[in-house]
Each structure stands twice: as C-alpha cells, then as structure tokens.
Amino acid sequence: MPSAIAQLLDTRWFAPFARVILTFCFWGSGLAKLADLDAATAEMAYFGFSPPTLIAILVAVVQIVGSLLVILDRAAWLGAGMLAVFTGLTILLVHDFWNMTGPEAVGHFHTATEHVTVIGAMMVAALLSRRSRTAPATDRIRSATA
C-alpha cells in the first residue's frame, strides 16, 4: 500500500468520517422524514404500511439511532444490525421484484442487489468495530497517536 494511503487510513479522523459517509443514506433519510413528516407519512401509505405516521416515525428513529451507533462506534454491532435488518426488510416489503414484471421488476431487482451490498457493508462495519476493540494494545496505542 502506498505510504500516503496508509497515513490517511491511520489518521484519527478517517474512521469516524468513513462511518459518517457509510451511514449517510440512513441518517439523511431519517432526518428528511422528520423534517417533512407529511411526505414521509405519504410514502409509508403509498407502500401500504399502517398506521403510516407511526411507521414513518419508527423508520426515522431506526435510521438515525442505528447511524449514530455506527458513527460513534458505540454498540456499532447493534447499529449496524439495525440498519442491516431494516435494509433487508425493505427488499422484502418494498423491492419485491419477484412479484413484478417488465422494467419495474428490473429496477427493483437492481435496487435489491444494491441493498444486499449495503447489508454487507454493515457487516464489515460491525466486524471492524469489534476488531478495533480486540486489537493488541500496541495497535490501539499506535492508532491513538496518529
């Protein structure tokens, strides 16, 4: 690995910044739902969820709390798990391409496969959080001084 890349990866700010970027689609969506609860309610009603306002609020809470747990690296396993389960449920409940035909099915299939990748990213985030806590003391000291 080039030393410039290694130095960047070893900086104190890079990991939290990466976690903010990783969770952007979740916390951004959650904040948007809270900022425009009427639109979020209409979205939930469109997909047939009832009661739509309660579901919209619960979705926003899961997205924001899950993101914060990952970003702050506090119970990141739980936050990543919340976001991964949420994403998996959206495939089953919203992007059910197997019940569609034509271009609509193709679009939802591509979205579902992208969601599988996001689930994998949440798995990696949980794994890296755990590894950073179980790393040998010399590795933790070295990364803390970078």
Q: Tell me, what's the pLDDT at 134?
A: 82
Q: Tell me, what's the pLDDT at 94?
A: 96
Higher pLDDT among residues 134 and 39, named by residue: 39
Alpha helices in 36-101 (DSSP H): 37-46, 52-71, 76-93
d(C-alpha 28, C-alpha 129), whole Å: 22
- Residue of 129, 126, 92 whose CA lies nearest to 111: 92
**Cα distances (angstroms) measured from residue 144 to each of 5, 13, 32, 128, 140:** 17, 10, 35, 16, 6
Q: Tell me, what's the pLDDT at 108?
A: 97
Helix, strand and coil percent figures for the chain, each rounded to 5:
85, 0, 15
In this predicted structure, the answer to whether residue 142 has a pLDDT above a threshold of 80 is: no
Q: Tell me, what's the pLDDT at 113?
A: 97
